[in-house]
Amino acid sequence: MERRVLYELIDILEDLVNTPSPSGFTEGAIRYAEQHLQRAGILTTRTHKGALLATLRGKDETKQRLLTAHVDTLGAMVKEIKKKGRLKIALVGGFSHHAIEGEYCLIHKADGTTISGTIVMHQSSVHVYKDARTAERNEENIEVRLDARTSSRAETQSLGIEVGDFISFAPRFERTNSGFIKSRHLDDKASVAIVLQLLKEVAMTGVSLPYTTHVLISNNEEIGYGGNASIPPKVVEYVAVDMGAIGDGQTTDEYSVSICAKDSSGPYHYGLRKHLVHLCQQQGIDYKVDIYPYYGSDASAAMKAGHDLVHALIGPGIEGSHSMERTHEQSLCETYRLLDAYIQSEMVHEKKDS
């Protein structure tokens, strides 16, 4: 993988993580992806749900592929304006309250403007609250401290803040000299950046794909149904490009592409998984096969929706998923290389052992 390609990919990633897009509030990130693809000469369409679909024509139009990656992220909404003007929040996506304590945030008002704040414990000061260290991090105790002079519900409402306003978390993107990338929302904007860069390179170099390949940039994955619809009828292979989860008992690391054998929805298609592993072995791509016990993807959502296709899940290894996340540029490279090899490979055929 050329360094130029990697640097451009990471630039896209930085742009994306700095574009707020909690599930339900993804227009800015979708528009960014749309403009990137259109500049590369790739035609796109919007789905009724607001996702983005791009198509690269291949030699075979009768059997087609689909890749998906999602731009929606974790976030929150204003649940209540408290008596003293602070905000009670409702979580958007599956994460724990302790993962956002102390984070800077933006409240996105209906008029399109924002007000900044910090997510804090109500019992934040050890000098005032006896239980500051032990109080549970939950919906009752976590709140948003606004960067505005307000001490009452009425004063906060006068700022234009209302129940239902979206709240996005500061990503704090950083690329280290050692090649690590630290940021919120690497799930799944790392994979979106990989896919966008790959499509640009295919369009720029004029690579002839064996099969027409669609790319769905989905926008509701974190709430369970981002990629379960808008799948073109001739698609028979569906690969979700998401993330590999790292932790105790996992094989996934920050330096390889993770290939999922099973998640909470059950096993992924055995034949397609073996095909992806074979491509890694053939191309010298560093990979890990793993099982994610508390995970679901756009591909598994498509299967639950009843689509008749084979499905797989791959992605870069992400440390600290749904918290302060980190990966390494090597993992981005290996995921890119596998996707590049896959879209140029022959279609997987049904076998007795698949």
Cα separation, 239 vs 219, in Å, equals: 16
Per-position DSSP letters for 122-154, written without gaps between them: TT--TTT-TTTTTS--STTTEEEEESSS--SHH
Cα separation, 295 vs 188, in Å, equals: 13
Tell me if 70 is assigned to a ligand binding site.
yes
Cα separation, 122 vs 136, in Å, equals: 11
Alpha helix (H) residue ranges in 18-158: 27-39, 153-158
Cα separation, 206 vs 35, in Å, equals: 20
Cα separation, 317 vs 328, in Å, equals: 8
Two tokens, residue 153: 């519900």
Cα separation, 137 vs 129, in Å, equals: 14
Neighbours of 128 (CB within 10 A): 8
Cα separation, 278 vs 268, in Å, equals: 16
Cβ-based neighbours of 64, under 8 Å, separated by 6 or more:
58, 211, 212, 213, 214, 232, 234, 235, 236, 237
SS3 breakdown of the chain: % helix, strand, coil, rounded to 5? 25, 30, 40
Task: Say what the alpha-carbon torsion angle 153, 103, 314, 328 is, to the nearest 10 degrees.
Answer: 160
Tell me if 322 is assigned to a ligand binding site.
yes
Among residues 14, 201, 221, 254, which one is catalytic? 221
Two tokens, residue 174: 């950083």
The values of phi and psi at residue 4, to 5°, are -55, -45
Q: Residue 124 is which amino acid?
A: S
Whether residue 143 lies in the annotated active site:
no
Q: 170 near 144, Cβ under 8 Å?
A: no
Catalytic residue ranges:
221
**Annotated binding-site members:** 70, 187, 222, 242, 322
**Annotated binding-site members for Zn(2+):** 70, 187, 222, 242, 322
